[in-house]
Amino acid sequence: MNTPIDTRENLLHLATEIVQLVGYNAFSYRDLAGRAGITTASVHYHFPTKGDLALAMVERQRVLDRAVFSKLDVDVPDPFRRLQAFCAAMRRELENGRRMCLCGMLAAEHETLPPAAVEAVHAFFTDTEGWLGAVLLVGRQAGVVAFTGPAAPVAQALLSAVEGAMLTARAFGDLGRFDAATKWHLARLKP
């Protein structure tokens, strides 16, 4: 028997997968309940509104991504290879059933999200750009990454390129498009 925590986590996992595939506005609590094998009332017990669910999904994703970033910081000492590993992690989402970045999908539906979810999506992108910026700076100091000026706009450009590469690769059903775009952008960062 599932505990309430297990059910809540399962709902977050399933809802994230759904949003990554079809978007926030394309599913209902009935869809989610059906996939989870529970009633819609049970979904509402854990997430009274769809906005509450969106906020919880983004908060969960931010925690998961911070763990991934920390692991990359430890496991991949070369900052340029760390940037490559970040791109590879995003590519794996596409390989995993053509799923998009959760917050990329939510950002596309920005105007229909409740304010708290919009703020959480902004925080997600700020976190990711901050981590990328830190990697870029460490890479420049180590002489394995080259760029001029502050790291923030370079981090923003790289994240935008990766998110855009995911979209076009998915639209064409061609992971080669993702590879070409990310390799092109990373090549610009080599000294």
pTM of the model: 0.93
Residue ranges and CATH numbers for the domains of the chain are 58-187 (1.10.357.10)
Tell me the average pLDDT of the chain: 95
6: its two tokens: 């297990």
The Cα–Cα gap between 160 and 22 comes to: 20
- What pLDDT, on a 0 to 100 scale, did the predictor assign at position 104? 95
- What pLDDT, on a 0 to 100 scale, did the predictor assign at position 83? 98
**133 pLDDT band (50/70/90 cuts)?**
very high
Helix (H) / strand (E) containing 147: none
The Cα–Cα gap between 88 and 27 comes to: 28
Query: How far from 171 is each of 60, 94, 107, 135, CA to CA, in Å?
Result: 27, 11, 17, 30
* Among candidate residues 44, 157, 170, the one with its CA nearest the CA of residue 95: 170
The Cα–Cα gap between 138 and 186 comes to: 15
Backbone angles phi, psi at 170, to 5 degrees: -70, -45
Is 36 a residue whose pLDDT tops 60? yes
The Cα–Cα gap between 120 and 54 comes to: 9
Contacts of residue 102, Cβ cutoff 8 Å, sequence gap at least 6: 16, 19, 20, 57, 58, 61
> Among all chains, which residue has been given the structure tokens 């976190």?
127
**96 pLDDT band (50/70/90 cuts)?**
confident
* pLDDT (mean) for 24-41: 96
